[in-house]
């Protein structure tokens, strides 16, 4: 996330900006968003419906691939993601970016799993978000743990029943994207009024 050295934004006074007015209502297109939390052992997915300012969980879960040879894992991830797209018809897709830690082998496997998921989504423009950005947008803290993410997904999306950490993370990816859409719409609406 960008940090700004200038403090000029703190002195912004909307009353002194002439006749420009901020939009009073935010109009968003309704949309179904597929969020993906990639993994080489299991891939979490979460699908939400965005209706105006409201978001609702449609489904969530995970695609289990642990114990299979790597090529079979990748094939199953591809097939599973493709089946989700065909069954639920999302309009947009968001995926978590790969976090590279000290273990290069794990990062490579995660990248392969992520690539298998992406290969099933060829017709979509994919939105990508860093793990810290997702947590910041959905929990309010970039350092939130998995329990905090799951709690917020239950609260914000009224999720009932069992919610695995992978599915909670995927719902957070989808919700982060929904919030980015709202922000982009607000900015576009404001620029339209100003222009």
Mean pLDDT of successive 10-residue stretches along the chain, which has 195 residues: 37 40 51 95 96 92 95 97 97 89 84 95 94 90 87 92 94 95 72 57
Fold of 28-194: Nucleotidyltransferase; domain 5 (3.30.420)
pLDDT at 73: 96
pLDDT at 4: 35
Could you give the CA distance from residue 173 to residue 32 in angstroms, rounded to a whole number? 13
pLDDT at 31: 93
**pTM > 0.95:** no
- Report the DSSP pairing between strands 54-64 and 42-51: antiparallel
Q: What amino acid positions are annotated as catalytic residues?
A: 37, 96, 166
Which CA distances in Å does 132 have to 10, 26, 68? Answer: 25, 27, 30
Token pair recorded at residue 145: 């743990």
Helix, strand, coil percentages, rounded to 5, for the chain: 45, 20, 35
Could you give the CA distance from residue 147 to residue 119 in angstroms, rounded to a whole number? 30
Residues 6+ positions from 108 with CB-CB distance below 8 Å = none
Which CA distances in Å does 15 have to 60, 139, 186, 191? Answer: 45, 33, 19, 17
Instruction: Give the start-to-end residue ranges of the domains of the chain.
Output: 28-194
Could you give the CA distance from residue 175 to residue 165 in angstroms, rounded to a whole number? 15
- Report the DSSP pairing between strands 92-96 and 54-64: unpaired
Which CA distances in Å does 74 have to 45, 70, 81, 88, 114? Answer: 15, 6, 11, 21, 9
pLDDT at 93: 97
Q: Reduced to 3 states, what is the DSSP secondary structure of residue 136?
A: helix
pLDDT at 11: 39
pLDDT at 98: 81
pLDDT at 183: 76
Could you give the CA distance from residue 172 to residue 152 in angstroms, rounded to a whole number? 9
Could you give the CA distance from residue 191 to residue 150 in angstroms, rounded to a whole number? 36
Token pair recorded at residue 156: 């914000």
């Amino acid at each position: 996330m960008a940090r700004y050295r200038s403090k000029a934004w703190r002195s912004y006074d909307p009353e002194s900006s002439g006749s420009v007015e901020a939009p009073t209502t935010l109009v968003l297109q309704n949309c179904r968003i597929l969020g993906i939390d990639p993994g080489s052992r299991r891939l979490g997915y979460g699908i939400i419906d965005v209706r105006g300012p409201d978001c609702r969980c449609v489904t969530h879960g995970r695609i289990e691939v642990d114990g299979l040879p790597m090529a079979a894992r990748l094939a199953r991830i591809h097939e599973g993601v493709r089946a989700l797209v065909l069954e639920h018809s999302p309009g947009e897709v968001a995926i978590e970016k790969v976090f590279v830690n000290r273990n290069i082998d794990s990062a490579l496997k995660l990248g392969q799993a992520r690539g298998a998921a992406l290969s099933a989504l060829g017709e979509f423009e994919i939105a990508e978000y860093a793990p810290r950005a997702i947590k910041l947008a959905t929990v309010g803290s970039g350092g939130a743990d998995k329990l905090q993410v799951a709690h917020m997904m239950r609260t914000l999306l009224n999720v009932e029943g069992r919610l695995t950490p992978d599915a909670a993370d995927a719902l957070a990816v989808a919700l982060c994207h929904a919030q980015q859409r709202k922000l982009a719409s607000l900015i576009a609406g404001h620029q339209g009024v100003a222009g």
